[in-house]
Every structure is written in structure tokens, then in C-alpha cells.
Amino acid sequence: MAKFTYKNIITEAKKHAQLLKDRLPHLPSSEELSPYDSVIIKDYASLNVEAQEHVSKKDTEPGHGYEHLRWVATRGGYFANLECNARNIEDEIKQRLIKRTIAVGLLHDVERYRGFGKEHAIEGSKVAKEILTRCLIEDDYIPQIIARHDEIDLFSIGNVEFDVPFQSNFDADHILWGLEREESFWKSREKRNISPKEAIHDYQYLFPLRNSFKTQHGKEIGPKFIDFGIEISKYIERIFSS
């Protein structure tokens, strides 16, 4: 059995991940994400600064700081664009939904330091309202979506103004639950002083995620990212339990 340390777990997880990555679906390139980065730079400059400053003052877990917010915001915009295309949503409505999705991404985990549970979403919704007010952005859907952004069993409320940004943010955010098994998941457990002997068995919650993706594109690619995380987790469990 390999020596039981988080450092060794991460080393083994990264090695195994390299064997699996060729099976993963395409994620958007920097060029494909540039329209959504432009929205952040041009339309949400103050919001972006506020989000970055807020999380920089919190003791957030590895993998859930500002880089995570920016990652989800741009890819959420990409997912929203595809979902609008699939639904034949065009012009002003399409642009509004994409922009809303990007704003949700920038703010969805501002209170993630509170932990993984519902509290971080509820409190994050309140902080989002305050930030939006300071940035002179009026959009009641953004805090509503943030309050529910991790709800696995919610697929639609029958309102496209909520549904497309919620679904797109959820899918962009939750493909990371598979990818994080390469490194950031283990670092977060180490930071929380969870024993590695306990952490290697902590992956059962990944299985329900396979059927939780909500956009058309997310349903196509999301389960493959979750399977990636499950396969790494099973490998780590096996080699550190033998």
C-alpha cells in the first residue's frame, strides 16, 4: 500500500487522470470563451472586482476561490449560448440570458467558505444582492438562482428567464465535481483536517450527479466528467486500501 498522505494521494490521482483524459469531451478553448470574457471585462467590470475582493477576504477551500468563479462564469455563458440555440432563443432575450448566467457564475460561490451545504447558497444570495446593489445592477433573478444553484433535483420552474441561467450555471459548475478529483478535492479535505483514510471513501455523492445535468449540452457531456471523477476515486480507494 502506498504511504497514506494527501501528497501521495494527489500524485497518484494526477497520474491516473492522465490515462483517462483522452476520453473526456471537448471543453471550450480560450478563443471560444473570449465572448464571455468580454462580457466580464466590458459589462461586469465592477461586479468582477467586487466578487474577487469578497472571496479574497474569506478562508475559502482550495478550488473555490475567484478562479473558480471566473471559470464557471465564462463556461456558464458558453453553455447558455448553446442552450439558447437549442431552444431557438435569439436576439435580445438570448443576450440577456447569457449575461445573467455570467453574473450568476461570478457570484454563485462568494460564501463557499461556509461549507458545502445549503447555507453557502442562501447567504451567498444575500451577499449577491448587496454586491449587485453597489454595482447598480437590477436583476432579481440573479440572487434567486444563486440561492438554488446547487439543487440537484431542480430542473425547471417553467420560466426561461430563470431556467436557462440556472441550468447553464449548474452544468458548468458541476462538471468540476469530476475534474476536482485530480487535485483540489483532496486539498480541500486536507484543509478541513479530514483523515485521508476517510476521504478516499468519500465519493458516493458523485453517482446521483450523473443524471442531474440540465442543459442539452450538459446532458451530453456532464456524465462523462462525473465518470472521470468516480474512476479516479475508485482507483485511489483501491490502491490505498490494499
Q: What are the pLDDT digits (tens) for 174-192?
A: 999 999 999 999 998 998 8
Distance in angstroms between the alpha carbons of the first and the last residue of the chain: 6
Instruction: Give the largest Cα separation in the chain, rounded.
Output: 58
**Average pLDDT per 10 consecutive residues for the chain, totaling 242 residues:** 84 96 94 97 96 87 84 98 98 98 95 77 93 97 96 96 98 96 93 93 95 97 97 96 79
DSSP string covering the chain: -----HHHHHHHHHHHHHHHGGGSPP---HHHHHHHHHHHHHTSHHHHHHHHHHHHTS-PPTT-SHHHHHHHHHHHHHHHHHHHHHTT--HHHHHHHHHHHHHHHHHTTTTGGG-SSHHHHHHHHHHHHHHHHHTT---THHHHHHHTTT-TT----S-HHHHHHHHHHHHHHHTHHHHGGGTHHHHHHHHTT--HHHHTTTTTTHHHHTT---SHHHHHHHHHHHHHHHHHHHHHHHHHH-
| The C-alpha cell that represents 241 in the structure block | 486500501
| The C-alpha cell that represents 118 in the structure block | 445549503
| The C-alpha cell that represents 57 in the structure block | 477576504
Q: What angle do CA 198, 199, 201 make, to 5 degrees?
A: 75
| The C-alpha cell that represents 181 in the structure block | 478529483
Nearest to residue 177, comparing CAs of 212, 131, 216?
Answer: 212
Q: Does domain 6-241 correspond to CATH entry 1.10.3210?
A: yes
pLDDT at 125: 93
Cα 85 to Cα 115: distance, rounded to the nearest angstrom: 35
Predicted TM-score of the model (pTM)? 0.94
Residue bearing cell 491516473: 16
pLDDT digits (tens, 9 = 90+) for 93-136: 999 999 999 999 999 988 877 767 788 889 999 999 999 999 99
Domain positions in the chain: 6-241
